[in-house]
A and B are shown apart, each in its own frame.
Chain A
Amino acid sequence: MLKMEGVQKIYRTDLVQTHALRSLSLEVEEGEFVAVTGPSGSGKTTFLNIAGLLETFDGGRYTLDGKDVSRLSDRERSKIRNVKIGFIFQSFNLIPDLNVYDNVDVPLRYRGLASGERDRRIKEALERVGLASRLKHLPSQLSGGQQQRVAIARALAGSPRILFADEPTGNLDSLMAREVMNMLEEINAQGTTIVMVTHDPELARRMHRNIHIMDGQASDFEDRSDAPVDRIAPRAAAAAPAVG
């Protein structure tokens, strides 16, 4: 589903060059639920941005859903983001002036779907996250957990092939975090590939694999579906004392 080979990303200013990713190579299979961990500044967000086609990269090769996306135009990247990718952000990133219905509608409008089709998808997605009764509510009228569920509905409404989640439980209390994680697991169980950046080892432990990024490189990406995190990846845990 997702394959990076030697991907590099350098941020340049007049005075400094920062190597955010140094020859990052990793692969995510279709249907996997993968955790991406690593300390602050390790390159997790850069990885997510590049994987989600939010940013370009400077070297290497990236294949998404069988298509080489290394050298696409901005318009082509937008199209792939819109059709194949779903995003869930730490701070939900709902549009504050739009109600729940219109927020879920945003990516569907950019896809140019007919209004009847959009309506069906929006209602189905909101039904799936248990917010079908809150269509007219503004984000400010919802709890954090509910807002994140709207964001999940927004990501699901487009039926993406892969979901990128950036610390989706980072701004939630433990009860709501669990609720959101259960929801993501359910979505993954239905076949959607999920790549989730997290600081939380508890959450990472619940996933199939943990890819640990350190200094811009993926230092470990083993199958963890049947083993606890501290036994399978001692090197990653030792390298990232700040995690969690």
Chain B
Amino acid sequence: MEIRPILSALMRNKTGALLIAAQIALTFAITINAAYVIRDRLAIAARPSGVDDEQRVLAVRYTMNSPQNIDAMAQRDLRSLQAVPGVESVAITNQVPLGGGGWSGSFAVQNRRESPSVNAGMVFDDGHLLPTLGVKLVEGRYFRPDEILVIDPNTSRDNPPTALVTRGLAKTLFPNEASVLGKTVYLGNTADSPALQIIGVVDHIETPWAQTSERHLNSVIFPQRLLQPYNYYVVRLRADAAPDTRQQILDTLARNEPDRVTTRGLESIADLRAKRYRGEYAVAGLLLAVTVFLLIVTASGIVGMASLWVNLRRKQIGVRRALGATRADIVRYFITENLMISGTGVVAGLVAAQLLNALLLRQMSLPPLPWGGLAFGVVALLLLGVGSVLGPAMRASRLSPALATRSI
């Protein structure tokens, strides 16, 4: 290998090489962090909601404009919806996974101020919600029909005595317990906080907010119907449901009670997912565009510089060929030279990437860059360098050795 003579030649023409190395360093630092943020955002957007087959589960949020018998209307709606051809099951609840808004509360393992509390989503299940969502029960049992309370918030402050929790919340509340069945949690950490006995654990049900922190894993499911003028109907369609089933559902609701606003129409959980993670996709797309742009600029810089060097060294290349260099030797020369420049840039880029990452850690709560990702970045940038220099190097290798005897 010609490392020493190439290095010695580079040291005599530092400016161009240093500019390219600096460009590679900057590109490395930015793209590696951008790639990491992109991966983080896409991973967030790909998190499971706990809902089985999100396309088939529809949610409609309604608001009543006039006072009426809310429970009677809800029961009538549920019966009508269940009768729509193509509907597998229906439920009424206060919030849906990825829905954007809902209830949350603080839960503690003791009803004392010293006991730390954990924030969790509060899901009201009418006894049909989990099968309708397709959420998996992994431990314990589901609610019996007689456990479902009908609560009018205007007249009652009651809470059901039992609840289901998500696996994530169970681990947070009872990190050292193999099973949380039969354990008591409190809705709050004061002496008068209502107690709930855990009778079952579900795998996961995403909170309506789908927070980026671990809190998105925490939900408590209460066996209750809350009589309030705004709620969600959740509908699971059969796999063979006709395309117009959605419209039939909306028509049914409109027929039952025209004086009602279905705030956002009928949306599948998949629609809600797309809406919730639009920001994540936008950030990922923007960063991807910046990354691709930077890589193109850097690759162009390398191609430009290598082409310039080939043109400036036509005579030298001819002389090397005359002295016995094969075409492969010439290609190898330029690739080695490029690897030395890129290598310098990548080493500087590693330092810059760590500094940038430290800044992002503070601003975006990202975990530190993984070594595997850094290693991938190093290899990718070196390959980019080699790929960019390959064209000019091949052109150089095709120069005639007879150039050595010509005046250029």
A78 interface hit (Cβ, 8 Å): yes
A residues less than 8 Å from B402 (CB atoms): 49, 54-55
Q: A55-B400, A55-B402 are contacts. A98–B324 as well, Cβ < 8 Å?
A: no
**Is there a chain A Cβ closer than 8 Å to B315's Cβ?**
yes
Pick out which of these stretches binds chain B: A35-43, A85-93, A188-196.
Answer: A85-93
On whether A54 and B405 interact (CB within 8 A), knowing A97-B13, A109-B2, the answer reads yes
Enumerate B390-408 residues with CB–CB distance to A below 8 Å.
400-402, 404-407
Tell me whether A48 and B321 are in contact in the complex, defined as CB-CB below 8 angstroms, given that A97-B12, A97-B13 are known contacts.
no
Are A111 and B324 in contact, CB atoms less than 8 angstroms apart? yes
Compute how far the CA of A174 lies from the CA of B328 in the bound complex, rounded to whole angstroms. Answer: 41
Bound-state CA distance A5–B229 (Å) is 106
The residue on B at minimum CB distance from A45 is B405
- Contact partner of A106 (CB less than 8 A), chosen from B323, B400, B407, is B323
* Cβ contacts B309-347/A at 8 Å (1 or 0 each): 000000110011111111111000000000000000000
In the assembled complex, A219 has its CB within 8 A of some CB on chain B = no
- A97-B9, A102-B8 in contact; A74/B405 too (CB < 8 A)? no
Min CB distance B7 to A, Å, is 11
Contact A110 B405 (CB under 8 A): no
Interface membership of A70, Cβ < 8 A: no
B: interface residue count bin: 20 to 34
A110-B323 contact in complex given A99-B8, A102-B8, A105-B5, C-beta closer than 8 Å: yes
Interface residues of A in 64-78 (CB under 8 A from B): 74-75, 78
Cβ–Cβ contact A49 & B326, under 8 A: no
Q: Is B319 touching A98 in the complex (CB atoms < 8 A)?
A: no
**Complex formed: what's the CA distance from A78 to B320 in Å?**
10
Interface residue A166 (Cβ < 8 Å from any Cβ of B) = yes
A79 at the interface (CB under 8 A from B): yes
Q: Which of A75, A87, A98 is within 8 Å of B404, CB to CB? A: A87
Structural contact, A54 and B404, CB atoms closer than 8 A: yes
**Contacting residues, chain A, for B9 (C-beta < 8 A):** 95, 97-98
Given known pairs A87-B404, A95-B319, A154-B323, the reply for A110 and B5 (CB within 8 Å) is no
Task: Verify A107–B324 contact, CB threshold 8 A.
Answer: yes
Residue in chain B with minimal CB distance to A79: B324
Give the one of B315, B316, B325, B402 with max A CB within 10 A: B402
Take A49-B405, A89-B405, A97-B9 as given contacts and tell me if A54 and B400 are in contact as well, using a CB distance cutoff of 8 Å: yes
The listed residue with most A CB atoms (<10 A of its CB), out of B5, B323, B401, B406, is B323
Interface residues of B in 351-408 (CB under 8 A from A): 400-402, 404-407
Q: Which residues of A82-123 have CB atoms within 8 Å of chain B's CB atoms?
A: 82-83, 87, 89, 91, 93, 95, 97-99, 102, 105-107, 109-111
| Contact (A81, B324) CB under 8 Å given A89-B405, A93-B319, A97-B12 | yes
Q: Specify which chain A residues have a CB less than 8 angstroms from the CB of B327 in the assembled complex.
A: 74-75, 78
Which of B2, B319, B320, B327 gathers the greatest number of chain A CB atoms within 10 Å? B319
Is the pair A81, B405 in contact by a Cβ cutoff of 8 Å? no
- B329 near A110 with CB under 8 A, answer yes
B301 nearest CB across to chain A (Å) = 21
The contact of B401 among A54, A97, A154, by CB within 8 Å, is: A54
Shortest Cβ gap from B79 to chain A (Å): 85
For A89, the chain B residues whose CB sits under 8 A away are: 319, 404-405
Identify the closest chain B residue to A106 (Cβ): B323
A102: which B residues are within 8 A, CB to CB? 4-5, 8
Interface assignment of A52: CB less than 8 Å from any CB of chain B:
yes
Contact check, A52 vs B13: say whether CB atoms are below 8 A apart. Answer: no
Q: A162-206 vs B: 1/0 string, CB under 8 Å?
A: 000010000000000000000000000000000000000000000
> When chains A and B are docked, how far (Å) is the Cα of A166 from the Cα of B402?
12
Cα distance, A79 to B401, chains bound together (Å)? 13
Task: State whether B323 touches A87 (Cβ < 8 A).
Answer: yes
| B8 A78 Cβ-Cβ under 8 A | no
A113 vs B321: C-alpha distance when bound (angstroms): 17
The distance in angstroms between the C-alpha atoms of A97 and B17, with both chains bound, is 14
Chain B residue at minimum C-beta to C-beta distance from A95: B316
Q: Which chain A residues have a beta carbon within 8 Å of chain B's beta carbons?
A: 45, 48-49, 52-55, 74-75, 78-79, 81-83, 87, 89, 91, 93, 95, 97-99, 102, 105-107, 109-111, 154, 158, 166
* 11 further contact pairs, Cβ within 8 A, besides A54-B402, A78-B325: A54-B322, A55-B401, A81-B323, A91-B407, A93-B319, A97-B8, A106-B323, A110-B323, A110-B326, A110-B329, A166-B405
9 A-B pairs with least C-beta separation: A82-B324, A97-B9, A107-B323, A54-B402, A110-B324, A54-B401, A78-B326, A93-B319, A49-B402
Which residues of B pack against A, CB within 8 Å? 2, 4-5, 8-9, 12-13, 315-316, 319-329, 400-402, 404-407
12 of the cross-chain contacts (CB-CB < 8 Å) are A54-B321, A54-B402, A55-B401, A74-B327, A78-B329, A91-B407, A93-B404, A95-B320, A98-B9, A102-B5, A106-B323, A154-B323
